[in-house]
Structure 1
Amino acid sequence: MSPGTAPPAERSGSERRLLGIAFVLVLGTFMATVDATIVAVAIDTLATGFDAPVADIQWVTTAYLLAVVAAVPASGWLADRFGGRRVWLLAVGGFLVASALCALAWSLPSLIAFRVLQGLTGGLLPATGQALLARIAGPGRTGRVIGVVAVVPLLSPVLGPLIGGAILGAASWPWLFLVNLPIGALAIPLALRYVPVVPAAPGRTAFDLRGALLLSPGLAVLVLGLTEVAHGRGLPAALGVAAGAVMLVGFVVHGLRTRRVPLVDPRLFTRPPFGAAALALLVLGASVFGTTFLLPLYLQTGHGLSAPGAGLVLAFQGAGAVAGSVLVNRTIDTLAPRTLVLAGIGLILLGTIPFTQLGHDLPEALIAGSLVARGLGMALIAAPVMNIVYSRVEPDLLPRAAGALNLLNTVGGSIGTALLAVVLQSRLETRGADVPQAFADTFLWVLGLCLIAAAGATRLPRTRPRRT
Structure 2
Amino acid sequence: MTENTAAPPQKVDRPLLGVAFILVLGTFMASLDATIVNVGIDTLAHEFDASVADIQWVSTAYLLAVVAAVPASGWLADRLGGRRVWLAAVGVFLLGSALCALSWSATSLIVFRVVQGLGGGLLPPTGQALLARIAGPARTGRVISVVAVVPLLSPVLGPLAGGSLLAVAAWQWLFLVNLPIGAAAVLLARRHVPVVAPASRRAPFDVRGAALLSPGLAVLVFGLTEVAHGRTVPATVGVAAGLLMLAGFVVHGLRTRSTPLIDPRLFTRPPLGAAALALLVLGASVFGTTFLLPLYFQTGRGLTAWQTGLLLVPQGVGAAAGSVLVNRTIDAVAPRTLVITGVVLVLAGTVPFTQLDHGLPDFAIVLALLVRGFGMAMISAPVMNIVYGSIAPDQIARASGALNMLNTVGGSLGTAALAVVLQDRLDAHRGVPAAFADTFWWVAALGLLAAAGTTRLPRTRPAERP
TM-score band by shorter chain is over 0.9
**Which residue does 1:203 correspond to in 2?**
201
Kindly provide the CA deviation profile for residues 380-406 of structure 1, in whole angstroms up to 9, marking residues without a partner as x.
001100111111111000000000000
Which structure 2 residues correspond to residues 345-360 of structure 1 after superposition, within 5 A?
345-360=343-358
**Which residue does 1:398 correspond to in 2?**
396
Check whether the contact 1:8–1:138 (CA below 8 A) recurs between aligned residues.
no
Check whether the contact 1:345–1:377 (CA below 8 A) recurs between aligned residues.
yes
Partner amino acid, structure 2, of 1:446: V
CA distance in 1, matches of 2:6, 2:199: 16
Tell whether 2:236 aligns with 1:233.
Answer: no
**Which residue does 2:143 correspond to in 1?**
145
CA distance in 2, matches of 1:8, 1:461: 23
Tell whether 2:423 aligns with 1:441.
Answer: no
**Which residue does 1:35 correspond to in 2?**
33
Check whether the contact 2:25–2:185 (CA below 8 A) recurs between aligned residues.
yes
Partner amino acid, structure 1, of 2:291: F
Partner amino acid, structure 1, of 2:457: L
**Which residue does 1:301 correspond to in 2?**
299
Kindly provide the CA deviation profile for residues 353-408 of structure 1, in whole angstroms up to 9, marking residues without a partner as x.
00001100100000010000000000000110011111111100000000000001
**Which residue does 1:3 correspond to in 2?**
none
Shift of 1:15: 1.2
Shift of 1:203: 2.7
- Percent of aligned pairs with the same residue? 73
Check whether the contact 1:9–1:18 (CA below 8 A) recurs between aligned residues.
no
Shift of 1:8: 11
Instruction: Find 1:277's aligned residue among 259, 275, 278.
Output: 275
Shift of 1:157: 1.6
CA distance in 1, matches of 2:361, 2:39: 25
Partner amino acid, structure 2, of 1:159: L
Structure 1 12/86 Cα, relative in aligned 2: closer, same or farther at 3 Å? farther
Instruction: Find 1:67's aligned residue among 65, 89, 92.
Output: 65
Structure 1 159/196 Cα, relative in aligned 2: closer, same or farther at 3 Å? same
Which structure 2 residues correspond to residues 16-415 of structure 1 after superposition, within 5 A?
16-415=14-413
Check whether the contact 2:11–2:139 (CA below 8 A) recurs between aligned residues.
no
CA distance in 2, matches of 1:381, 1:400: 21
Instruction: Find 1:450's aligned residue among 439, 447, 458.
Output: 447
Kindly provide the CA deviation profile for residues 183-219 of structure 1, in whole angstroms up to 9, marking residues without a partner as x.
0111111111111000000132110010111111111
Shift of 1:124: 0.5
Structure 1 219/9 Cα, relative in aligned 2: closer, same or farther at 3 Å? farther
Stretch moving more, 266-275 or 312-321: 312-321
**Which residue does 1:466 correspond to in 2?**
463
Partner amino acid, structure 1, of 2:442: W
Partner amino acid, structure 1, of 2:98: A
RMSD: 1.5
- Describe the SS at the equivalent of 2:148: helix
- Describe the SS at the equivalent of 1:106: coil
Partner amino acid, structure 1, of 2:62: Y
CA distance in 2, matches of 1:148, 1:398: 19
Aligned length: 461
CA distance in 1, matches of 2:206, 2:6: 30
CA distance in 1, matches of 2:220, 2:276: 19
Check whether the contact 1:9–1:137 (CA below 8 A) recurs between aligned residues.
no
Check whether the contact 1:8–1:136 (CA below 8 A) recurs between aligned residues.
no
Following TM superposition, the consecutive aligned residue runs of length 4 or more in structure 1 with deviations greater than 2 angstroms are 7-14
Instruction: Find 1:15's aligned residue among 5, 13, 16.
Output: 13
Kindly provide the CA deviation profile for residues 145-189 of structure 1, in whole angstroms up to 9, marking residues without a partner as x.
001111111111221111111111110110011001110111111
Structure 1 9/284 Cα, relative in aligned 2: closer, same or farther at 3 Å? farther
Shift of 1:97: 1.1
CA distance in 2, matches of 1:63, 1:385: 29
CA distance in 2, matches of 1:51, 1:405: 39
Check whether the contact 2:69–2:118 (CA below 8 A) recurs between aligned residues.
yes
CA distance in 2, matches of 1:280, 1:400: 18
CA distance in 2, matches of 1:62, 1:129: 24
**Which residue does 1:417 correspond to in 2?**
415
CA distance in 2, matches of 1:381, 1:13: 23
Check whether the contact 2:9–2:139 (CA below 8 A) recurs between aligned residues.
no
Kindly provide the CA deviation profile for residues 302-356 of structure 1, in whole angstroms up to 9, marking residues without a partner as x.
1111122112211111111011111100110110000000000000000000000
Structure 2 unpaired stretches of 5+? none
Check whether the contact 1:320–1:372 (CA below 8 A) recurs between aligned residues.
yes
Shift of 1:51: 0.4
- Describe the SS at the equivalent of 1:264: coil
CA distance in 1, matches of 2:87, 2:130: 12
